Structure 1
Amino acid sequence: MTWPGSRNYERKEIAWGYKREGFWYESYEFCMAEHTGTHLDAPSHFAEGMWSLEQIPLDHLIAPGVVVDMQDKVAKDPLAELTTDDLMAWLDKHGPLPDRAIILLRTGWASRYGNKTAYFGTSTNDTNNLIFPGMSVGAAQILTSYEQVSGRKVVGVGLDAPSIDYGSSKLFPTHVELNSHNIYILENVGDMSALPATGFELIVMPMKMRSGSGGPARIIAKILDGSSVAPHLQVPPASLLVLLLFIWGL
């Protein structure tokens, strides 16, 4: 899925079958918008002169993750925003953010992915009446000032919904606030139900495109001490991996 009005993912077959010489050969071309499926918004997306996709440092893409769960709030209001009070309450409960933190908002919206009307609030490309949750600019300001206050920086923010700004937003202030501080944004992140609130590392792998304002990304969570999170998985706690993405072709 892609933002309403953007170009949909397209794939063209170039070759499929056995060659006369006897070997199999399969090849395709594809075309899509940068911000398709699970993707990363580079800081340059909403902030002039900030990092483009290929300029984001590697240690900002492999970093500690945390999950802020706002599902109960979203269940009552599909246009809910994570507020400053919500974020401060999470910090009071779970403690300070780790250095180079990537913050993930779990809204529960991932269950709607694949159904355009349910996910965007419209079946058309009209962006005037979109319905989905997001993060308030006030909460974003806490994150952009976090390094100055604590000495620990936030490098990325993501959520399992179409945009970090909620559906009714017209000026995208949360995008602007985060991107202006070289904080990237992850959107359309996959199901986070296997993740704990803290205690995991994220590996973010965007398609590396020169001067890109964003690009499709694979996101892997490595749960460091989470054997109790998924006890049915017979793997050592330090190697429990969770893939957090949606397929681009949907």
Structure 2
Amino acid sequence: MNLRLGLGVTSYLVVALALGCDSSHKAIGVPAKTQEPSLWEIHELLAKKEFVDLTHSFEPGIPHWPGFPDEELETIYSYKPAPGLMGSGFFAQRYQIVGQWGTHCDPPAHFVEGLRTIDEIKPEEMILPLVVFDVHAAVEQNPDYVIRMEDVKAWEEKYGEVPKGAFCVMRTDWSKRWPDAKAMRNEDAAGTPHYPGWSQEVLTYLYETRKITASGHETTDTDPGLSTAKDDYTLETYVLGTNHYQIELLTNVDQLPEQGALAVVTFPKPLKGSGFPARVFAILP
């Protein structure tokens, strides 16, 4: 074997080992097809990542839309056996809540008759690329701030296009006011609430151009406080009218990177349900 041929074979072996292909592959220079990792291997990788819980614990008295009643919580069985109670000796509680309670999922049917109820949201829509638009600095200066196309375009200039099927979250740091209901509503002397919200141009762009799967925020509403004070829920109607779901009252958004994480969005499955508390978390890159 001459020197040039020997170096060529050596180079191929190095590349083959680096790519994980078989050095005995007959077509020198054409690497063997790599095998995708198994789901268990993917789980092993994910288990080493950092997880961030984006969900508030709920209880009676938490901030909520003012038209809803408070939660009623009753312990119906305790660990200590009670006379006359069959099955006593274990812990069980009864919860009476509206579907839109705490960190929760709003399915399309919440606002639009005939569209999907919460049980009709597919599992494939629950593990998503996570996009965070950070506007908290602007909200600090103006609590009535609504996200603008400049905010979204600035994100895309840094990271590329918002991926199809993403879960897009607006970071306002409003959840730091939790669980103070008055602070969350932030009413002025006339009783008008002041809190941030989405905008029509941004939502239209995300859902119709970028084809995202869902969106979420830290406040009680999609629409800003100045709009809800006039009973104007145009933006929430728009989102749910696209037959997509949204998540309200997220927390710990300040612990997320703007790009690269995964969102896992889960909730129970009441038949024909109008909404339900959700458990949402992120897996960081």
- Tell me the TM-score normalised to structure 2 length: 0.71
Per-residue CA deviation, residues 182-237 of structure 1 (Å, 9 max, x unaligned), is: 221111001112211111111111122122221100001011x2xxxxxxxxxxxx
* 2:199 corresponds to 1:141: no
Question: Is the CA contact 2:76–2:93 (under 8 Å) kept in the aligned structure 1?
Answer: yes
Q: What 5-or-longer segments of structure 2 have no aligned partner? A: 1-61
Structure number with higher strand proportion: 1
Q: Distance in 2 between matches of 1:23 and 1:58?
A: 36
Q: Distance in 1 between matches of 2:109 and 2:138?
A: 31
Q: Following TM superposition, by how much is the alpha carbon of 1:180 offset from its aligned partner in structure 2, in angstroms?
A: 1.3
- Distance of aligned partners of 1:130 and 1:26 in 2 relative to their CA distance in 1, 3 Å threshold: same
After the TM superposition, which residues 52-67 of structure 1 pair with which residues of structure 2 at under 5 Å, given as runs? 52-67=117-132
Residue of structure 2 equivalent to 1:205: 266
Q: Following TM superposition, by how much is the alpha carbon of 1:141 offset from its aligned partner in structure 2, in angstroms?
A: 0.7
Aligned length: 216
Q: Work out which of the residue numbers 189, 205, 211 in structure 1 matches 2:250.
A: 189
Amino acid at match of 1:17: Y
After the TM superposition, which residues 239-250 of structure 1 pair with which residues of structure 2 at under 5 Å, given as runs? none
Amino acid at match of 2:194: I
Q: Distance in 2 between matches of 1:122 and 1:216?
A: 26
Q: Distance in 2 between matches of 1:129 and 1:206?
A: 32
After the TM superposition, which residues 80-229 of structure 1 pair with which residues of structure 2 at under 5 Å, given as runs? 80-122=145-187, 129-147=192-210, 153-169=211-227, 170-223=231-284, 225=285
**Who wins on radius of gyration, i.e. which is larger?**
2
Question: Is the CA contact 1:46–1:179 (under 8 Å) kept in the aligned structure 2?
Answer: yes
Identity of aligned residues (%): 27
Q: Distance in 2 between matches of 1:40 and 1:212?
A: 10
- Tell me the TM-score normalised to structure 1 length: 0.80
- Distance of aligned partners of 1:171 and 1:191 in 2 relative to their CA distance in 1, 3 Å threshold: same
- The DSSP-based 3-state class of the residue aligned with 1:99 is coil
Q: Following TM superposition, by how much is the alpha carbon of 1:166 offset from its aligned partner in structure 2, in angstroms?
A: 0.6
Question: Is the CA contact 2:218–2:249 (under 8 Å) kept in the aligned structure 1?
Answer: yes
Question: Is the CA contact 1:160–1:191 (under 8 Å) kept in the aligned structure 2?
Answer: no
Per-residue CA deviation, residues 20-60 of structure 1 (Å, 9 max, x unaligned), is: 79983222211011111101111112222221101111111
- The DSSP-based 3-state class of the residue aligned with 2:102 is coil
Q: How well do the aligned residues superpose, as a CA RMSD in angstroms?
A: 2.1
Q: Distance in 1 between matches of 2:114 and 2:157?
A: 35
Residue of structure 2 equivalent to 1:6: 68
Q: Distance in 2 between matches of 1:90 and 1:48?
A: 34
Q: Distance in 1 between matches of 2:265 and 2:216?
A: 11
- Distance of aligned partners of 1:22 and 1:73 in 2 relative to their CA distance in 1, 3 Å threshold: closer
* 2:107 corresponds to 1:49: no
- Distance of aligned partners of 1:162 and 1:22 in 2 relative to their CA distance in 1, 3 Å threshold: closer
- The DSSP-based 3-state class of the residue aligned with 1:168 is helix
Q: Distance in 2 between matches of 1:101 and 1:16?
A: 43
Question: Is the CA contact 2:77–2:89 (under 8 Å) kept in the aligned structure 1?
Answer: no
- Distance of aligned partners of 1:87 and 1:11 in 2 relative to their CA distance in 1, 3 Å threshold: same
Mean Cα deviation higher: 84-93 or 96-105: 84-93
Structure number with higher helix proportion: 2
Q: Distance in 2 between matches of 1:27 and 1:130?
A: 38
Question: Is the CA contact 1:46–1:176 (under 8 Å) kept in the aligned structure 2?
Answer: yes
Amino acid at match of 1:134: G
